[in-house]
Structure 1
């Protein structure tokens, strides 16, 4: 009788296992569905997010701004958050390998037709006004994928670099090369003019005031971008060598002129003393001053003892 009951026990045990496996499968499916229904987004402390819908039953349209430093913010299934930097950013021409001859730089032709290499630093922040930032994302960010590091760099190269080149070329023809190389006041004027031209060209190229100055914090005035140029340098190094040789010759000429001027002053002094003392008097004065003639001032009615040297007598050998 015991053997007749064994098949029933086995069948019962197998049914329980099947139910457990089926339950686990349903649980996994439920978790997958749950995670698709409840999507979460995070942003770094230096990033602001733009939340766009992307579900099956809704359009891919803007929903909200995700503040910097957000953690596990609940968003809809299929939605996407695009992060953009809010901290100070830079675009530098001549940064990598700046001390080498083949470093990247902008080529400018001066007023006197000398080709100059110019290295530039631009510092800025992204305008985080909601409507402005949204416009930037939809006009520029999506196209260049600027919400990713590689896309951000590509965006700067595509929009910043051409306007920097245009600005420097436009104002460079107003100055001779030596003025930009040697004259600090002229270089400052060149930098100011280039910065003004760049800040005019950039919004027109990108389609809006998407970039602010480095001091912008989101709740203050946007401000102007920081635009700095290093000393423009002739691409032909022989020009610099020629300038330095000319400067050395000029310094030598100035030194010789100073020496000649000093000699003329001394000659004039001699003529005046000869006219006052006579030739012999001047010669006597010069001899006394040089120490060739020693003299002593004797007070009137004073007794002066002058030591007389004792003659040395020689003894004859015995």
Structure 2
């Protein structure tokens, strides 16, 4: 009986010990969490269309790059003074259509015959999120323009960066290509427009890369490995001033009128040749009579065998 009591007492002591140990463990965890909060530690996570750069350091130590936080990553703790910068992962567009949400107005170009035209369109691309390349982009360009994301949307710095690294190269490329074509061909000739688009594409990709200094802007489907590829351009037909469009429409209308008049003249000439042939065969009076009969102004009446003819004047 005494042995049983002793065993029960020992089991109770062990149970109380486990409870105390659990309480101590929870207290330690709480202290650690409170320590993180008190020391200024934060945590970040990434969305499926977002990548982050993590930099460690603070007011009293050098800021150093730590790592890239890939898309759809769970909570990552940042130490005191650490910072992270978010950039878009996946397809993005530089829109120069002039619409309300566009990054830019249409781009102005000058044709071979010195006519100013406006071109709307877009450049579709993917920011190169290869970790080493993205870090280089951030330190060379992103910090300068403040191009990293703020919250869930792009920043004004992102727009300013695109206007410099896309609009200016596109402007140069379009102007250079446009010097090879007259405005009417750019506006009205599908073959000329296709040639112009191909030339703009070649020059734009070259100038964008030269301006950026590296392959920071890749093809829309780029996934971070392999060949970066080229930005995809979508360009609308160049639009000249409305006054030239109206003048071109009037010119086309005049051409159609001239063509119609030529057809009328051809018909009249044919009729004259026909009359000449009638005169040659029937003589002048015979030709006049024939024409009157054809026009219904003279009615031919058959003569009966008895020679009696009744003529009724034609009512007019």
Q: Alpha-carbon deviation of 1:221?
A: 3.6
Aligned to 2:50: 47
Structure 1: give runs of 5+ residues left out of the alignment.
1-25, 295-318
Q: Alpha-carbon deviation of 1:141?
A: 0.8
Q: What do residues 111-153 of structure 1 show as CA deviations (whole Å, max 9, x unaligned)?
A: 1111222223111111122221111111011111111222211
Aligned to 2:261: 256
Mapped pair 1:199 → 2:192: no
TM-score normalised over the length of structure 1: 0.69
SS, match of residue 222 in structure 1: coil
Q: 2:168 aligns with which of 144, 156, 162?
A: 162
Mapped pair 1:72 → 2:75: yes
Whether the 8 Å CA contact 1:55–1:76 is kept in 2: the answer is no
Distance in 2, matches of 1:179 and 1:130, equals 45
TM-score normalised over the length of structure 2: 0.70
Are residues 267 and 73 of structure 1, via their aligned partners in 2, closer, same or farther at CA, if it must alter by over 3 Å? farther
Q: Alpha-carbon deviation of 1:49?
A: 1.4
Q: Alpha-carbon deviation of 1:48?
A: 1.2
Q: Alpha-carbon deviation of 1:58?
A: 5.6
Are residues 29 and 88 of structure 1, via their aligned partners in 2, closer, same or farther at CA, if it must alter by over 3 Å? same
Q: 2:35 aligns with which of 15, 33, 36?
A: 33
SS, match of residue 67 in structure 2: strand
Whether the 8 Å CA contact 2:116–2:240 is kept in 1: the answer is yes
Aligned to 2:126: 125
Q: Alpha-carbon deviation of 1:241?
A: 1.7
Distance in 1, matches of 2:268 and 2:83, equals 86
Alignment of 1:223-302 (within 5 A): 223-235=229-241, 237-262=242-267, 264=269
Aligned to 1:208: 214
SS, match of residue 146 in structure 1: coil
Q: Alpha-carbon deviation of 1:90?
A: 1.1
Q: What do residues 180-238 of structure 1 show as CA deviations (whole Å, max 9, x unaligned)?
A: 11112112222221221111111221221100122323345422111222222223x32
Are residues 288 and 112 of structure 1, via their aligned partners in 2, closer, same or farther at CA, if it must alter by over 3 Å? closer
Q: Alpha-carbon deviation of 1:38?
A: 5.3
Distance in 1, matches of 2:294 and 2:83, equals 101
Are residues 135 and 265 of structure 1, via their aligned partners in 2, closer, same or farther at CA, if it must alter by over 3 Å? farther
Q: What do residues 62-121 of structure 1 show as CA deviations (whole Å, max 9, x unaligned)?
A: 2222111112123444322211112211112233269xxxx9322222111112222231
Aligned to 1:86: 89
Distance in 1, matches of 2:168 and 2:127, equals 19
Structure 2: give runs of 5+ residues left out of the alignment.
1-27, 301-316
Q: Alpha-carbon deviation of 1:265?
A: 5.5
Aligned to 1:186: 192
